[in-house]
Structure 1
Amino acid sequence: MTLSMRVLGGWLIGAILLIGCNADDDHRPVSGNEVVKFNSWLSEVSSVSRASDIEDSMTKEEWKAGDYIGVYMKENGKSLSDNVIIGNVDNNKYMSTKDGKNSIFIAASEKDEIYYPYNSPTVSFVAYYPYKNTLTTDYLYPIDISNQKEDLTNVDLLYATFENKSSEGMNIPLTFHHQLTKLVLNLQPNLAEDKNAYFEGIKVRANGFYTKANFSLVNKLISDLEKIDTIPVKTSSDGKRVEVILIPQTAGPDAYIEFDLFGDIVKWHISANKVFEAGKQYEYTLYLGKPWIEVDEEKISSWGDEISVPVNWNDPTHFPINLVKILGGDHLVGSPKNTIEAAANEYPQHKVSVGTFWISPYEITIGQYVKFLNDQPGREIAEELQPHKTMINYEGGVWHVVDSSRNNYPVTNVTWYGARAFAQWLGGDLPSEAEWETACRAGNYDLFSFSGLDNNNESIYYARFVNCRDEASSNGEDDVLLVNALSPNKNGLFNMHGNASEWCRDAAVRNANGSPAPYDYKFSGEGDLYVIRGGSYKTPLNECRSASRTCLSPEKTDNDIGFRVVFPISNVPNLDFGKIERVLSLN
């Protein structure tokens, strides 16, 4: 049966929404198909020194992209232990996706993903920061505050729980609380004039405090205090603010803070039996003279406010970046045997293992490509990276979109090299053929990702989903359309059928007819040709099918060849999410 006969006959298979996956019951029993994400809050910056002009806090008051937390999922209402862990969610590693007091955390790898259980109406979560992969079997977190000279955020300890969570909805806020003690010293120099001028050179050390202990993730108790030692302390760049993290403890008779300015040393002796409580901040203003120190005031407060705001995870506006997640697994690629519309190079249909990845929902636009060109060192761009000058030109030392009204049209006339350079600049890559087809199909193994939406009136869907030569009269001019002009597939991806053909990263060899060789043809080496998928506004409808494939020389450009970008899960820890969001947002 021909493609046109199928359209008239009205029998197409329905699509599957592929935004999650059902993992093996033995390891990840799930309810529904959405992976757990966490919306996590830290407090406002808890102290700004009145003495220092430097306002940034040195302790953990904001999340950074790439911060890692450890997460446990357990039976609701029961203390954390081996026999209440659910779904093997035992110290799973989740990663912050952006900077700020509020961040969204996603699984750091596929094996860390968390799903709800089928057989439990509610569950509880326990989480902590910073992540360690060597926790003891009795859930003791090792505390070590002995080195605070460089980065205090690695010394800090944060803890969060969330109780009585059902599988209905994806609102999982985690509010993290500081479990250690923060000591803030606002320093006012009262030294000789020549010493005051060089106050930024001051060195500070805390002496007589316990530097090691264990924190229980079960009940938050701190035990096994040991090793009283000297702690080198970080100061602000002007030397006028000191922040020290302490293990909660009662100060002994030999606890003091030492200030060393080019060999002139003064000491502030902490009152014996002074109690430093967990989650509290102790702030003092000190006037430093020689050999005396005057303590002007003491302020004790909670170390940060407790803030928790739930997020509706079904609302895509809360996702930090404009990407679509495709869950890994085994997927079919190619056309089934005896598919009338298929070319020989689509056989044999075969199963491939695809890792989890994120993909841009739109073809890369002209405006986005200009941002890439303008970020290159010296703005001297190799000829192979430059799109056709009718879209982009170089004037006054800056790359411009020739017609600003076409900012959000797909960039075309880009070589394979130029497309891949853009993708790698963002921290991603061009999709493999398997990734591209998996994302395009959205679980639908018929001719198109939208096949079967309405068997009684299917012809209307070609104009909604496809921009090709056969449908040009339904979609406007014989040209590429805006990247979001047509309807997306079930994965939320636009223009997977037509508009602009898209480069893939796979090398290929040609058969006698000039198209890629069949999948079972074996060759080694990089190859001289690269695959393009999806068809374009210049190709017939048949070449816009999910399985259709062709190949070109990597130097080839044309006004109907573009690309999109993928981010494999292995790349996630090194991604600049802020940059991705800025670049991939449509103007």
Structure 2
Amino acid sequence: MKMKSLLGIVLSLSILQSCQNDETNIIQNEVNNKGITFSSIIDDAQNSRAYDTSWEANDVIGVFMLANNSDKNVLATNIPYATSKGDGYFVSKNSPIYYPEDNSAVDFIAYYPYSETISDYKNYPIDLSNQTKQNAIDLMTAVNLTNRQLASPQGNLQFKHLLAKLVLNLKSTSGSSLKGIKASISGLQVKGTANLSDGTITPSGEATTFSLFINEEATQAEAILLPQDLSGKLKIKLEQNGQSKEIETEISGNIEQGSKYIYNVNVNYQGGEITTDPEAKYTKWFETPVITESQLNQSNIKYVTHYTGITYDEAPLNGIEIRNYSMLYDTNLKIAYWVSYPLCGWYLEGNIGRTEDWGYDPKIATNLQANLKKALSGYSRGHQIPSGDRQRKDCDMNNQTFYYTNMTPQLQNGLNGAIWAQLEGAVRGWSSGIDTLYVVTGAMPTTATDKQIQYAKDNNGKNIAIPKYYFKALARKVGGNYQTIAFKLDHKAYSDTQYMKYAISVSELENMTGFTFFPSLPSEVKKTLNTSQWN
């Protein structure tokens, strides 16, 4: 099972708001003759996706039809409906459900995954002890279709997840494969019952130990979790070649229904010992690359976020300050490894132009930054987040792009003023027509084969590292699905501006840089490179 949001699908049951009564009668007669069919959408909020968001061909749901009265008499029990094409359009596998002949109102309860043994919608058994087929245990319900009659507009079944999801992103830092690694959790209940009508989950089993599902590449461990109270922080045990290591997560108090928990851990297996470098605690957004504890423990590594000074005025973020960008800055090298930020029309409104407000970053001590008030010898002051990506007039977000921490020594001719500028313009174009484009721009002072760092001199004669290459990682959501692409350009003068020749997958860029980009996205999405989506 994979579920996806299918907005605007018209089902034979749906009655469109037509001005022509004859057309409506034809649709209603069709439902009378062939029985009820359903279409579906999934609650696509980030915190309510436990497994994924796409149906697969031949997925089956179970449907109950109840009388819309105080007794809630069951009029149809656990009728299987299948989506043959995986498009979320469900048709009965056997005998379809019909509306009552007396035209009385009814309610529908639908659930996934289907089980032919279910006869009581208030007592659905849950058993999560076997995690090998997660789509077979990812319980969801749709109870939004109430007080329906043949003449009523039907609408879509709106499915919500009743369980929780844990994703552990694993990354080897020793160069060796993690294949064969195992992950397990102890002390959790994995059995219980669900009331499909109101979503109530009742744990009913003893606490036990169970294994997480590990993908084929051993880059991700996953588990569907039963909502329940916790006595302490949730811990995960890693095992490889007879060695083990316990990881303590920040999940405490309880496991919340419908939540998705994502943790990122660097794993080093050398000399018969497992060591881990878990994700640090820091303010993060969708576009923020993973920062590990060991990175933030280095005195020269600074994680900084700049805000716009404007707050959201709509729920659920009402009153929260809107971010401008974040960066991971090295005070020894005097450059940022990456700058991450969202890009949409809101940030581009106003066309303020270049404020040229060059200055020190107020969030980092002045003596730890390069002085770039004037241009460098042989190099331009290359923005990482471009001035052109922050054009709004009613705040200081463009000024913040001129902080010295956002600059690197960059060749102007053939790069900063040519192919790199063309790529920046394309990025702005790719942000139109969608909700948000998520961008990570970075500069790396070394490569896998060249570890020698070269320096330029700032206005005070201090060293500032010269990047060996620049990169961008991009992600956007189109039609309910995420698209990703990355670019890697060596620090040299190019004779052309064909940036698409330098497109790579986000996964490839992760392997080059050692950073984990868009950690909430599945690895399959980051491995995919389809340049036609970006042309």
Smaller-chain TM-score range? Answer: 0.3 to 0.5
Give the TM-score taking structure 2 as reference length: 0.43
Structure number with greater CO (CA < 8 Å, separation at least 6) is: 1
